[in-house]
Structure 1
Amino acid sequence: MNIDLAGKRAVVTGSTAGIGFAIAKGLAGAGADVVVTGRTQAAVDKAVAAIATQQPDAKVSGVAADLATPEGAADLIAEVPQADIFVSNLGIYGAKPAFELDDADWAHIFNVNVTSAARLARHYAPIMKDKGWGRLIFISSESAQNIPVEMIHYGVSKAALQALSRGYAKALAGTGVTSNAILPGPTRTESSVAFIADLAREGGIDPAEAESRFLAENRPSTLIGRFAAPEEIANLAVYVASPLSSATTGAALRVEGGIVESPS
């Protein structure tokens, strides 16, 4: 299988670290002209340099903007007015007891995780439609189908993102543009590594044991028994971004290690 994205421009939001960075790197490795985004110029420059160092032939640039705001989205659109591939990876999460979630918590997580994606898709999708080819990819989560009691608002926002993806797939039916959601499970990103390290210190155990305990207590249905690597998520995203995925649209594609009990 040869994935060739030469001549395609890809915008990946929230791509200075973690899953977003792995996706940006994977798309660049497949030949796409990739735009990395993040809130600070320093983080964007670091990510762009890292990809360029690992892949000297990569076509990669960056835009620093707070894409959770209309102003930040406008800045990105001004610098990158069109794209063939749009990956909405920007997202936040955080644990908070269900009965303590207030209006501000709900508004904030929806603004970052859902509204930002809808705002940018609203711009890029019609351009893809006019060209007769494009890929919308929304990074949701297994938490969309397996709502975590410790962060219900996060799970609900990711379920909304999955619905957004399905809605765009219907709106773009027959145009050559596909829209799909990717549902990762626990992934070994910088933030999750720090989280597990904190658990290890608190429990007086090593990080590997802390990870195993976390999964046993919080994701006991996992079939791989470990956190995924960001590259494992990116591999699916690169395929979905490619011409090879032309019959895949409106789908919720799981790469969560079998946590979700449903077989489909």
Structure 2
Amino acid sequence: MNQVGNSPAYLTINGLIIFFIMMTQLPTVSAQEVQPSADPMVEALQEIEDADWKHRWTGYGIAWVGSAIGIGMGSWGLYHQPLAKSGTPDPVIFSASLLLVGSATAQIIHGGMRFDERVISAQNARALLADPKAQKSNGLFFLSNRAKKAQSTRFWGGVMTTAQGIGTTLLGARLWQKGVEGQKTAGIAFTVMGVLNTVVGTIHFPGKARSGRVLDRTLKKLGLNKNVSINPTVLPVDHQTWSPGLSAFGRF
């Protein structure tokens, strides 16, 4: 019972220790200082370079903490098998623990991919800022590509975080409902953590990532944002007859 009661604090402390170690080992290289620019493309590239380089470790550190807690909780559920009967694990506890371990492990990989995505993006933005010719020919392509990658990363990050939150909630609710003494206390703590985790995951789905907002703002400043215009015109009916009509032009 004591192990159950102490598990939330134990896992949280472990996660914080890992996060502290990672953050104290970060390199001190800083991003280029952002200077105001009248050119929307330069301004956008500077913002992307600055944000991606400065925050490359932040998301990965958070992923490690979340993964450590999720793997710890899931492993505890699989190893100790609370609420097991006659050597058979409780189906809800077992399923929730598997979901926790799987989603938390995936978060480590996802965090590493996101780290690489940010580093490569910052390096490419830096290269475009240093080469006006390449910037003119490839700037919009880079911003569009970066926005699409960020949106995909945001979506799958939301899926994994939500899955981990659901697993934590199920584990906690089961212990809260069926457990005794310390198990109920752990169940309440797990349930609260799970609900908060699920909320954090679901807020990833609506809206756009920062690079998407940068792209939209840049297109608007350059006059290339999505628009549809309808104008009066005349349309040929045959070789000798014309009829009034409307023409539509759109940019998507």
Q: Structure 2 length as normaliser, TM-score?
A: 0.26
Q: Choose between structure 1 and 2: higher strand proportion.
A: 1
Higher-Rg structure is: 2
Q: What TM-score, normalized to structure 1?
A: 0.25
